[in-house]
Structure 1
Amino acid sequence: MLGVLGDEWTLLIVQQALLGATRYGEFTDALPVSHSVLSARLRTLVAEDLLARREYQSRPPRAEYPVTPRSRSLWPMLTAVWEWERTWVTEHLTALPAMRHTSCGADFSPILTCRACEATVIEKDVVAQWGPSGSWARSTPSTTHRRRSGDRRAGAGALFPQTMSVIGDRWGFALLVAAFVGIERFTDLQTELGAPPGTVAHRLATFTSEGILRSHGGRYRLTEKGRAFFPVLVCALEWAQRWYPDPEGPAVVVTHRGCGRRFHPALACDQCCGRLRGSQIMTA
């Protein structure tokens, strides 16, 4: 999941595709992306079955890129990312618009719920354990798309600047997951993740400066802003384990304390309390 989605342009291209863009020109009109980057990402997305490629003109050759079931099922994660950035990140060049639930007609914020019992869920309401195929070593990819520096926030990073600090970096994502399961000390983080000390120090400094973690007495704990990232994390995990299953079994097993059943996330509208569907969401 991190290897595929840990790239800001990939997320934004999929987002535009879910909003209806299918043709090359529609992506370039919507995003400040270079032709070389867009062409490369479209090839990757087709190879990963996140987009299909369908030629609609032969002279000259032109193709469109409709969404697939795999990319359509990303809408909960993208909705959670949009809400987190809109609510907690102030550095956007322009404010992100609200989301509208077309079913009730109201601007809304998504609420994380348990699909089994429909109760509202926060991070303290679930317990996570490694499954048969899970471990820190197996759950961090060896490579991801290389992140841009310097001008990264002038492009795609203008929309998802701090989200990419987390999911755009394999160690950053693993460290935040470790924080959610209660690992707080530098030495414990280094030992569990198997990351170099300098890597852990750099990621901790980044998350602290962005207000995702706070440091006190040698411990690094999630802030309110950091805890608010939980819906993104569990929606990403749900998508990853659906589309990248391991024959040995799941990597992570999450249980809802409230009902005692396996936790599968669902998003609801905070205005009408109805369960959200991707086709019912638009920007206001």
Structure 2
Amino acid sequence: MSEQKFIRTCSIWRALEVVGDTSILLILEASWIGARRFDDFRLRSDLLPTLLSNRLKRLVETGILEKRLYSDKPPRHEYHLTDKGRDLYWTALMMLRWERRWAPREGKLDIRLRHKTCGQVFDPTPSCLHCKAEITASQVRWAEGPGVGWMAVRYSRRRQHRSAAAERSANTALMDEVAQITGDRWAGLVLRSIFTGLRKFDEICRDTAMATNILSERLSWLVDKGVIALHEYSSVPRRFEYRLTEKGIDYYPVLLMLLLWGDKYYLSPEGPPLLLRHKPDGHELEPAVTCSCCGEPVRIRDVDYEVVEPLRAPDALATAG
């Protein structure tokens, strides 16, 4: 009998158990920009019909989408976000923010967001409602909360679907690289560990309870993505650790909004596993996504959007004959 492994409880882990799948994130992305029917999701996500059907069913089962009949003969359904699904909006905005900053933009769709409250086109900004300052990873201090503990690992076998995002056509591509990272829950757990100060391979392995071969692959992949980098911290004997790059540090708001959503919908009876404080005065962190123009929190009902067509490389100049 194999030894039971345990993982540190965390609302990020619980959230990733639900949405930590690239295909699911592509479906949610399509839903944010108006997809409601199966063919709309198929066109937007480029997912195979069988995979799309499976993930739509899963999203209905977890209460993120609801299925509504719009035709009796023949029976036809639409898929609409529930309140639980709409509460992922801040996570989606932080994913969009990261994609815009760090992924190549050529050949991708973009979204122009307009805040109805102030009427301005805005950039989504991670902010603390208590002090109105923008949130950065270096300005957040964490401590164990009443819900901290260890739980048995329940790793289900999932194929990697990173290519589902990477291979989309230019007509549908919006959030590709960030969907690959957020859609890989093991990569998310690795980043969670490093953000909490665990940088050595053995430390990350104990914290995530991953098989060593899976951890090695995820670490190498995140290094290739430029999210983390390998640093030598001892020359005799040679020892290495993994540190976040600037690109990796800027991923923090995505994890923060996942934690917020996980705390709301998957909180343990004892309370939150993590308590967050905002430096330098140590007040309780009140995370929100705000409008870069007026500073007010943005809600899905208060935002209009316009899809911007993919950026193209300028045509090469014709050579003189």
1: CA distance, partners of 2:153 / 2:102:
26
CA distance in 2, matches of 1:153, 1:171: 18
Residue equivalent to 1:142? 155
Written as runs of structure 1 = structure 2, the 5 A alignment for 1:6-45 is 6-45=20-59
Contact 2:162 / 2:180 at 8 angstroms: preserved in 1? no
Q: Does 1:173 align with 2:188?
A: yes
Q: Which moves more between the two structures, 70-79 or 198-207?
A: 198-207
Write the letter of the residue equivalent to 2:18: V
Instruction: Name the aligned partner's letter for residue 240 of structure 1.
Output: G
TM-score by length of 1: 0.88
1:128-277 → structure 2 map (5 Å cutoff): 128-135=142-149, 138=151, 141-143=154-156, 145-148=158-161, 153-155=166-168, 159-217=174-232, 218-258=240-280, 260-277=282-299
**Distance in 2 between the 1:122 and 1:47 partners?**
35
Aligned residue pair count: 282
Distance change >3 Å, CA 151–CA 230, structure 1 → 2: closer
Distance 1:222 1:140, change over 3 A: farther
Question: Relative to 1, partners in 2 of residues 1:16 and 1:237: Cα closer, same or farther, differing over 3 Å?
Answer: same
Mapped partners of 2:152, 2:289: distance in 1: 25
RMSD over aligned CA atoms reads 2.6
> Secondary structure, in 3 states, of the residue corresponding to 2:71?
strand
Q: Which has the larger radius of gyration?
A: 2
Please tell me the residue identity of whatever aligns with 1:101. Answer: R
Q: 1:57 to 1:259 in 2, by over 3 A?
A: farther
Alpha carbons of 1:250 and 1:151: their partners in 2 closer, same or farther (altered >3 Å)? closer
Identity level (%): 29
Tell me which amino acid in the other structure corresponds to 2:200.
Answer: R
Contact 2:36 2:79 in 1 (8 A): yes
User: What SS does structure 2 have at the residue aligned with 1:11?
Assistant: helix
The 1:31–1:194 alpha-carbon spacing in structure 2 relative to 1, beyond 3 Å, is closer
Q: Which of 52, 58, 74 is equivalent to 2:88?
A: 74
CA distance in 2, matches of 1:67, 1:192: 34
CA separation of 1:102/1:152 partners in 2, compared to 1, >3 Å: closer, same or farther? Answer: closer
1:144 touches 1:170 (CA, 8 Å); kept in 2? no
Moved more, 98-107 or 236-245: 98-107
In the other structure, the counterpart of 1:94 is 107
Q: In the aligned structure 2, how far is the partner of 1:152 from the partner of 1:208?
A: 19
Counterpart contact for 1:85–1:160, Cα < 8 Å: yes
- In the alignment, what sits opposite 2:69? 55
The secondary structure found in structure 2 opposite 1:147 is coil
Stretches of structure 2 lacking an aligned partner (at least 5 in a row): 1-14, 233-239, 309-321
**DSSP-derived class of the 2:284 partner:** coil
Letter of the 2:209 partner, please give it: G
- TM score, norm. by length of structure 2: 0.78
| SS state at 1:138 partner | strand
Determine the C-alpha separation between the residues in 1 that align with 2:34 and 2:160: 27
Structure 1 residue matching 2:36: 3-state secondary structure? coil
Q: What is the one-letter code of the residue matched to 2:50? A: S
User: What is the SS of the residue equivalent to 2:226?
Assistant: coil
CA distance in structure 2 between the aligned counterparts of 1:144 and 1:232, rounded to whole angstroms:
24
Change (3 A) 1:33 1:191: closer
Output one character per residue of 1:73-117: Cα deviation in whole Å (capped at 9) or x when no partner.
111000111111121012x67234143223345443222111233
Q: Comparing 54-63 with 194-203, which one deviates more in the overlay? A: 194-203
Structure 1 residues 233 and 24: alpha-carbon distance in aligned structure 2, compared to 1, 3 A threshold: same
Deviation of the 1:159 alpha carbon: 4.2
2:9 corresponds in structure 1 to none
Within 2, Cα distance between the matches of 1:159 and 1:269? 20
